[in-house]
């Protein structure tokens, strides 16, 4: 076998992985060596005859596992954005092995003994602020991983962690298979109502799939949502909608319902092992919210106003449908279609009129230039660098003094082998423990590729959102790797991304970057005014579908008897209990709710987007109050949040930025719900 590129020194510019040389068969031996090396490093720390110190224990742990981390980041990034059968098989094989590896570290009694000794003496160690937080967080992480359990409890904790890793992997792969296996093939006669941009995207998707002369709608959100919004064919809308919302719901190999059941049972058992009443109580104990009552209070403050607003919206849609000759009650596959018609009528605004001004390349430049004005960073595209797919574009990020900040990869298009949704990740995080290490950050979107690629306003917001996450990684100045960038509490991690969305809607941004793809003319002032006025349109619908998903998440993870849960029956019971409007579906139904079940990151934590929206709406109001959305002193304080990572408590960071605690009124105003209270 030739030299394994994952194990050899990387010589590519900026430390980029040698993507072209990496083959699937390289991963297993690299994972194995990486785990072996880290276990040897951990054993040296745990068995050391020297008395525990911050340097020989905590900092030594921060240095451990560098090879495993490097291999893992490459593998999991590519298995999300450029996967294939071979990578999926490796993911299934190594998910439990990697979980077992982490459990061996977290449950090592000698290692924890050293950490506990330092934690007990922490006030006497002369630690800097970031070091104190690192030690306290490390001790807490070990306790929450089972370090205080008896041997039988530790064994069971390791078994649960390994099985959950397998189930999470299978869940995500099943959703991807459903999304890639299904397609709606159309003829020209089936395109009634679809604007040119939607037809072009459907033609491009058909060509990508080798279906010449026809059109294809897929279950990627960027494909199916425009179809549901514009297609005049109610029968085809229903077909597409039901396929979209039934991902994961079918008997056979890719049925996610039994996986959900087992995941919930194991999570509840894990929580009980650690002394918590439910998995939600366990997860929220280490969050800004701290307890389920705080989450439920936030969701209830939004839920009833959102339902009232949605009820008024439904009446208006039904009246419009009847005027157009549709006597049937508005169904879930009708809402987007009639909402778009009503939006056109109410604001004299047509998505097909707006999208020509939202060219992907221009929106990317808007995001870059906003970052420069706020934070003093610059993005310059680089050619000839190694990439894992031709769609990816790569940029060097520098500060205004010309210093290298990091590398930014932009992967914007939906394609076969790429998971749906949008996310930020990294191939390398920043730290300065042993000298400056610059980050390599990647943003993934799933826009429908076309020539040109035109975005909806919502898609442009998604681009800004993910770029906000990207800046959180790029601007990080944490000394220690485990505190870098987005390594913060789950209900704070969305704040840097969500506040960044506001700069897209700033009139000065749109006047400069929203230019027509053919003429280069800026968006007309009248259209700009109508576009901004329409931003709160249909917010009852949007808030209901999101909040219902957050309520369903909490219900799943607080149920006292998860072993008795039938997924669909439970879903319907929750929907009925909360009074879900029948014309609106939960944004993510359980069997494809990847935030919850393809990993544990947002399990009992999907509320985090709304929690962070309280912060971001309130936070952006500071710029509005200053009369300048680029006010330099506020921008500098905001940059401190992006730079700090997990070196300080998140509320402390927010208070330093805003000068006071956040208030929910800004969120209700932002979503247009204040009048609906």
Please tell me the distance from the alpha carbon of residue 623 to that of residue 301, in angstroms, as a whole number: 25
* The pair of three-digit structure tokens given for residue 550, joined into one six-digit string: 């957050």
List beta partners, residue 447. Answer: 413
* The pair of three-digit structure tokens given for residue 465, joined into one six-digit string: 């959102």
CB proximity list for 278: less than 8 A, separation 6 or greater: 268, 271, 292, 557, 558, 559, 560
Asked about 466 being catalytic, the answer comes back as yes
Residue 110, number of CB atoms within 10 A of its CB = 12
* The pair of three-digit structure tokens given for residue 401, joined into one six-digit string: 């003094």
Reported as type and span, the H/E element at residue 1 is: none
Please tell me the distance from the alpha carbon of residue 191 to that of residue 199, in angstroms, as a whole number: 7
Residue 127, number of CB atoms within 10 A of its CB = 17
Q: What is the DSSP letter of 598?
A: S
Distances (CA, A) of 21 to 71, 287, 597, 648: 14, 41, 33, 40
Q: Evaluate whether 148 touches 157 at the Cβ level (below 8 Å).
A: no
* The pair of three-digit structure tokens given for residue 327, joined into one six-digit string: 């006597």
Please tell me the distance from the alpha carbon of residue 331 to that of residue 272, in angstroms, as a whole number: 42
Q: Which residue is associated with the tokens 């006597």?
A: 327
Residue 457, number of CB atoms within 10 A of its CB = 21
3 state SS of 407:
strand
Please tell me the distance from the alpha carbon of residue 308 to that of residue 369, in angstroms, as a whole number: 39
Q: Evaluate whether 184 touches 208 at the Cβ level (below 8 Å).
A: no
**Choosing from 88, 466, 501, 571, which is the catalytic residue?**
466
Please tell me the distance from the alpha carbon of residue 227 to that of residue 572, in angstroms, as a whole number: 27
Q: What is the DSSP letter of 651?
A: H
Please tell me the distance from the alpha carbon of residue 347 to that of residue 345, in angstroms, as a whole number: 6
Please tell me the distance from the alpha carbon of residue 390 to that of residue 19, in angstroms, as a whole number: 12
Distances (CA, A) of 155 to 95, 273, 335, 630: 18, 11, 50, 54
Please tell me the distance from the alpha carbon of residue 69 to that of residue 34, in angstroms, as a whole number: 8
Which residues carry out catalysis?
466
């Amino acid at each position: 076998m030739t030299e394994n590129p994952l194990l050899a020194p990387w010589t590519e510019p900026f430390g980029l992985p040698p993507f072209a040389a990496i083959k699937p068969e390289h991963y297993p031996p690299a994972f194995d060596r990486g785990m072996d090396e880290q276990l040897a490093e951990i054993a040296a720390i745990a068995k050391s005859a020297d008395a525990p110190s911050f340097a020989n224990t905590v900092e030594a742990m921060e240095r451990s596992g560098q090879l495993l981390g490097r291999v893992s980041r490459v593998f999991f990034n590519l298995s999300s954005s450029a996967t294939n059968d071979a990578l999926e098989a490796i993911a299934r094989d190594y998910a439990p092995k990697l979980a077992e590896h982490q459990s061996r570290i977290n449950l090592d009694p000698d290692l924890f003994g050293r950490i506990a000794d330092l934690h007990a003496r922490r006030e006497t160690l002369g630690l800097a602020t970031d070091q104190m937080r690192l030690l306290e967080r490390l001790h807490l992480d070990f306790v929450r991983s089972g370090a205080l359990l008896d041997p039988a409890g530790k064994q069971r904790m390791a078994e649960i962690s390994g099985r959950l890793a397998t189930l999470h992997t299978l869940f995500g792969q099943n959703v991807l298979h459903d999304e890639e296996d299904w397609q709606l093939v159309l003829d020209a006669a089936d395109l009634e109502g679809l604007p040119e941009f939607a037809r072009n995207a459907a033609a491009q998707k058909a060509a990508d799939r080798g279906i010449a002369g026809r059109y294809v709608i897929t279950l990627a959100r960027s494909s199916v949502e425009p179809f549901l919004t514009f297609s005049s064919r109610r029968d085809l809308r229903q077909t597409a909608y039901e396929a979209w919302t039934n991902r994961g719901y079918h008997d056979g190999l890719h049925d996610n319902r039994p996986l959900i059941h087992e995941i919930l049972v194991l999570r509840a058992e894990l929580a009980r092992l650690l002394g918590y009443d439910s998995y939600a109580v366990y997860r929220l104990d280490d969050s800004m919210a701290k307890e389920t009552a705080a989450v439920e209070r936030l969701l209830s403050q939004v839920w009833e106003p959102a339902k009232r607003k949605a009820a008024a919206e439904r009446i208006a849609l039904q009246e419009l449908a009847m005027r157009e000759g549709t006597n049937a009650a508005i169904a879930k596959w009708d809402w987007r279609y009639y909402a778009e018609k009503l939006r056109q009528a109410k604001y004299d605004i047509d998505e097909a009129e707006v999208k020509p001004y939202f060219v992907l390349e221009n929106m990317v430049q808007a995001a870059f230039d906003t970052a420069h004005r706020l934070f003093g960073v610059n993005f310059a595209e680089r050619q000839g660098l190694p990439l894992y797919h031709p769609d990816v574009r790569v940029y060097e990020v520098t500060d205004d003094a010309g210093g290298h900040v990091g590398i930014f990869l932009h992967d914007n298009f939906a394609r076969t082998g790429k998971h749906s949704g949008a996310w930020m990740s990294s191939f390398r995080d920043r730290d300065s423990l042993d000298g400056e290490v610059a980050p390599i950050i990647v943003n993934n979107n799933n826009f429908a590729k076309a020539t040109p690629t035109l975005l909806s306003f919502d898609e442009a917001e998604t681009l800004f959102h993910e770029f906000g996450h990207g800046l959180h990684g790029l601007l990080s100045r944490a000394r220690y790797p485990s505190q870098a960038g987005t390594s913060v509490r789950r209900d704070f991690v969305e704040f840097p991304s969500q506040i960044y969305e506001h700069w897209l809607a700033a009139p000065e941004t749109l006047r400069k970057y929203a230019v027509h793809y053919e003429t280069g003319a800026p968006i007309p002032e009248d259209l700009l005014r109508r576009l901004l006025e329409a931003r709160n349109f249909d917010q009852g619908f949007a808030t209901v579908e999101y909040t219902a998903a957050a309520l369903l998440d909490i219900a799943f993870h607080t149920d006292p008897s998860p072993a008795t849960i039938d997924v669909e029956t439970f879903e319907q019971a929750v929907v009925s209990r909360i009074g879900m409007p029948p014309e609106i579906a939960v944004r993510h139904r359980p069997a494809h709710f990847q935030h919850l079940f393809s990993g544990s990151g947002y399990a009992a934590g999907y509320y985090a987007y709304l929690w962070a929206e309280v912060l971001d709406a309130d936070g952006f109001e500071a710029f509005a109050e200053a009369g300048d959305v680029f006010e330099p002193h506020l921008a500098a304080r905001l940059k401190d949040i992006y730079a700090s990572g997990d070196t300080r408590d998140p509320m402390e960071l927010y208070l330093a930025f805003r000068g006071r605690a956040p208030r929910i009124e800004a969120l209700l105003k932002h979503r247009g719900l204040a009048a609906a209270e």
